[in-house]
Amino acid sequence: MEILAYGVLSDERPLLQDALEQHRLRMLDVFLTADTAPLAAGFPVVSSSVNDTLDAGVLSLLAAGGTKLIAQRSTGFNNIDLTAAAELGLTVARVSYYSPYAVAEHAWTLALAVNRRLTRATTRSREFDFRLDGLMGRDIHGMTVGVIGTGKIGECFARIAAGFGTELLGWDVAENPACLELGMTYTELPELLSRADLVSLHVPLLPATHHLIDAAALARMKDDAILVNSSRGGLVDSTALVETLRAGRLSGVGLDVYEEETGVFFTDQSIQGVTDDTLARLVTFPQVLVTSHQAYYTRTAVGQIIDATARNIDDFAAGRTSENTLVPKS
């Protein structure tokens, strides 16, 4: 089967090549947009990344070119118009599971880095400035840690938190027995935000969770709290976050995602510069650390994502569906 994969990163190439060696595979480093969609003409399978655009217009172009399957190489699929895909007769599959440890560990990497001022310390060391002024952090041991979303990734984050010796608070639509065994206390969101020294987000982006952390939520948090988001950028109102930081509140913010990251993350913006004023302002705060949606980016997790993508393609060819199927074959 002929497959065109968009947005392929250099580290992904050998893994994709090995997993799909029985197919005719073409890999592009450009993202899927209305401008690049015509490149897929004649390819029955298009493999997309989370930063590709698959709105109704792009899907129409793909369908007109003969594409039958969209195989998304991610768990998230909010970039795909599923209704339009169904109307166009396109099958859509995603990766429903990959290593939750990858994301949870990166979330803790962000939390520890902003807590211990590692970005500022590294910059100073490169300039041979070895003063400690302004680098004081806090012990994680004894902190109250709030976990918003206690599914697979949230549970892994909580297990690490328990290892540090923290008090665990949780918020979710359903309680996770494994988190309860760790000693987690489930609370209403306002109470979690007001009590937690560190808040980490692990819920999906849905209409109900869009800007879950808005100005009101930020106002409830402690002035010296740490906020980490390794889930979806739209969970946080970025404008409200900037205003909170401008007011001198929050001792650390670690962001692996940003609500307007499409077209920016995974690309080199160093020459032309970033035109998003909110993002540009965020990265100037010394207590903020932004990474480029890399929490999933471990050899284990990426390998699992690619293996699942290969299975999705094989399932489509055999007329099978699975838990990864979002829009079945019509």
Compute how many other C-beta atoms are within 10 angstroms of the C-beta atom of residue 97: 12
Q: What is the mean pLDDT of residues 127-142?
A: 97
Asked if 81 and 127 sit in the same domain, the reply is no
Residues 180 and 226 in one domain: yes
Q: pLDDT grade, residue 204 (50/70/90)? A: very high
Same domain, 273 and 135: yes
**Domain co-membership, 74 together with 163:** no
Confidence at residue 268, expressed as pLDDT on a 0 to 100 scale: 86
Structurally, the chain folds into a number of domains equal to 2
pLDDT tens sequence across 47-82: 999 889 999 999 999 999 999 999 999 988 989 999
Instruction: Please tell me the number of Cα atoms within 13 Å of 172 on its side-chain side.
Output: 25
Query: Would you name the residues annotated as active-site residues?
Result: 232, 261, 293
Same domain, 313 and 274: no
* pLDDT (0 to 100) of residue 51: 85
> Do residues 212 and 315 share a domain?
no
Whether residues 232 and 94 share a domain: the answer is no
- The confidence score (pLDDT) of residue 54 equals 97
Are 141 and 277 in the same domain? yes
Separation between Cα atoms, residue 186 and residue 166, nearest integer Å? 15
Rounded CA-CA distance 205/78 in Å is 8
State the average pLDDT for the chain: 96
- 274: pLDDT strictly greater than 90: no
CA distances from 35 to 5, 23, 53, 250 (A): 15, 25, 10, 41
* Beta-ladder partners of 71: 47, 93
> Do residues 250 and 307 share a domain?
no
SS3 call for 191: helix
Q: Please tell me the pTM assigned to this model.
A: 0.91
Q: Say if residue 20 is in the same domain as residue 137.
A: no
User: 112 and 202 share a domain?
Assistant: yes
* Residue 98: both structure tokens together: 């990959």
Q: How confident is the model at residue 263 (pLDDT cuts 50, 70, 90)?
A: confident
Q: How far is CA 268 from the centre of its chain?
A: 19
For residue 74, the enclosing domain spans: 2-98+298-327
Distance CA 319, CA 329 (A): 7
Which position has the token pair 């010796």? 165
Whether residues 131 and 254 fall in one domain: yes
For the chain, how big is the Rg over CA atoms in Å? Answer: 21
Q: Which CATH number does the domain housing residue 92 bear?
A: 3.40.50.720
Q: E strands along 202-265, which residues?
A: 226-229, 252-255
Mean of pLDDT values over 195-203: 98
